[in-house]
A = this chain, B = another copy of it.
Amino acid sequence: MAGNSFGTLFRFTTFGESHGPQIGCVVDGVPAGLRLSEADIQPDLDRRKPGTSKFVTQRRESDEVSIVSGVFEGFTTGSPVGLIIHNGDQRSKDYGQIRDQFRPGHADFTYWHKYGLRDYRGGGRSSARETAMRVAAGAIARVILRDLPPKPVIVRGALITMGGHGLDRTRWDWSQVAENPFFCPDSEAAILWAEILEKLRKDGNSAGGVIEVVADGVPVGLGQPIYGKLDSDLAAALMSINAAKGVEIGDGFEAAALNGVGNADEMEIDAAGTPQFTSNHAGGILGGLSTGQSVIARLAIKPTSSILTPRRSLNRFGETVEVVTKGRHDPCVAIRGVPVAEAMMAIVLADHLLQARADGTPLTTRPWDKKEI
């Protein structure tokens, strides 16, 4: 059954496999009249691109995106935006073992059971290569978030733990995120992480990590109250990323250890007369709707399953095998997960921004009610 689309009013559908001729994406629901070109998309793809450091896969992909529809003379037309990336690096090679083995932590066994056959080349459809199209769709979502609301909504992400090692939030500096191979906002932590990951990589091992994504400038009232809640949609979006195992909003699991007094986000009026919260335990969402504060989510990514250390498994003939996954794998997939997580948050917010238009939700501060005397 159809399961390759995401979103409601902003809806994208991806296709393509790791080693097929191309991967692609159709982004439907993009409003007309927005300025859009490949230059709005390519930079995000470049941040996710393989081969940028020794801590990401060395697969060579230019990941050059083409817009093939939906844009005319530099502006979106309201028609679906088609995006294509040609796969540059389809090495012809002997897949040998991989063809038949169920790699631990991979979708090999479950795909084989479900479908009876599988495209084993580089993981086929289950490869994280699909996430390039999420980043591309996310870049279009960012254009909507930039141009439609009264003030632009900005989505940023960072890696906040790597292999169980955290960072110092007092050193958080967004400008550092682009300066190290980890998307880490704490430059000192990044140095430490580099040492740790280098050792794991040489040992044929791998690491997990936690990603934090933050949206600033979100209008109040985005989301639907019961089943299209903003947090519910964010959870679905983030949990659909390869290797994701957990999602938190605001204080997340720590909120479960707080008491009601400590968890309450109090409100006050600021100098300009607009309502403000004095804290943000809620992560910018109450009752499924945005509060106007920063929307904050975190995503747990398991360690890369493709490792050089032999693991015991089965093959499709029912035989016991030892699996060693050679090849060009990310020692910590959480790193390249950062732009993907940003993209998914942007997609959810753009969708809800369009929903808010349908709902008639005011995108600026609602005037206070008049008191009847």
Contacts and interface: CB of A to CB of B under 8 A. Distances in A.
Copies of this protein chain in the complex: 4
Interface string A20-43: 111110101101110000000000
A295 interface: no
A170 interface: no
A261 B70 contact: no
A13 interface: yes
B309 A260 contact: yes
Contacts of A29: 1-3
Given A17-B79, A266-B312, A291-B109, A246 B236 contact: no
A90 to B, nearest CB: 12
B256 A302 contact: yes
A288 B228 CA distance: 21
B106 A253 contact: no
Contacts of A119: 72, 77, 79
Chain B CB within 10 Å — which of A26, A82, A306 has the most?
A82
Contacts of A249: 239, 245-246
Contacts of A22: 68-69, 82
Contacts of A278: 312
B311 A266 contact: yes
A125 interface: yes
A248 to B, nearest CB: 4
A342 to B, nearest CB: 17
Interface in A325-373: 334, 354-362, 366, 368-371
A240 B227 contact: yes
Nearest to A101: B267
B311 A264 contact: yes
Given A1-B358, A358-B357, A24 B260 contact: no
A159 to B, nearest CB: 10
A113 interface: yes
Given A24-B24, A110-B289, A240-B232, A207 B300 contact: no
Given A231-B239, A236-B236, A253-B253, 13 more contacts: A1-B8, A3-B226, A14-B80, A31-B360, A33-B115, A72-B117, A77-B119, A107-B287, A114-B289, A231-B240, A256-B300, A256-B302, A266-B312
User: Closest 3 A-B residue pairs measured CB to CB?
Assistant: A107-B287, A3-B224, A164-B257
